[in-house]
Amino acid sequence: MVVKVYGPQCACPKRVIVCLIEKGVDFEVVPIDIFKGENKTPHYLQLQPFGHVPVTQDGDYTLFESRAIMRYYAEKYRSQGTELLGKTLEERGQVEQWLEVEAHEFSPPVYNLVIHIMLSSKLGITADQKLIQESEEKLHKVLDIYEERLSKSKYFAGDFFSLADLSHLPFVQYLMDPLGKEHVIRDRKHLSAWWDDISNRPSWKKVLQHYPPPNLS
């Protein structure tokens, strides 16, 4: 069964796609143009009641929320492709811990920067300068903690690549390129080496090549 992934242009579905590539799972994408409101149609809201991307469909099994989808496929195809959950219960605990940190500490300030720097004109909103400043300050504190963590182990959960690293790919990519904040990564030695390592994985290069972000002009 080929897994359908809705919304490949956006950041969160890219987490799912890179995970499926790492696991060697066949998939096809279903474009959803959020700027045309395709995520708010009655049909789409039947799949994802909040109107967010991604959704996956696998036969008659539907899932949403990118990190839930990643966990499901990383577990379902445990015996093939890259092991993304750690080998032991304790390693899995560390993977889950840093996956939660990505979701609750790292991604919210980057999301604010994406909305208020990258997308404000496309969305027709006034960029909130105070929120931009607060988000940048918050991001620096998080990245200082990341630098400390990555000085002790090669990847977030230990000396193995996992969902905790993979889940950072789309939003660190936004920082590097369209947001022009490469220095926040490059100024931190261990974080910079980690980024070079994970962003050079063939899976992520394939995602960038085949699923570019939407045209914002």
Interacting residues with a copy of itself (CB under 8 A)? 49-50, 61, 63-65, 67-69, 71-72, 75-76, 89-90, 92-94, 96-97, 99-101, 103-105, 142, 145, 148-149
- Residue 26 token pair: 């066949």
Q: Which is nearer to a copy of itself, 111 or 199 (CB)?
A: 111
> Between residues 92 and 154, which has the closer beta carbon with respect to a copy of itself?
92
Shortest gap between Cβ of 90 and a copy of itself (angstroms)?
A: 6
Q: Which CB sits closer to a copy of itself, 2 or 103?
A: 103
Task: Select 24 or 180, whichever has its Cβ closest to a copy of itself.
Answer: 24
Q: Residue 172 is inside which H or E element, if any?
A: helix 169-176
Give the nearest distance from C-beta 65 to a copy of itself in angstroms. 4
Q: What is the DSSP letter of 27?
A: E
CB 137 → a copy of itself: shortest distance, Å? Answer: 14
Cα dihedral 127, 182, 14, 19 sign? negative
Q: Which CB atom, from 32 or from 95, has the smaller least distance to a copy of itself?
A: 95
CA 113 – CA 136 distance, rounded (Å): 8
Smallest separation (angstroms) from a copy of itself to the CB of 157: 11
In whole angstroms, the minimum distance from the beta carbon of 142 to a copy of itself comes to: 8
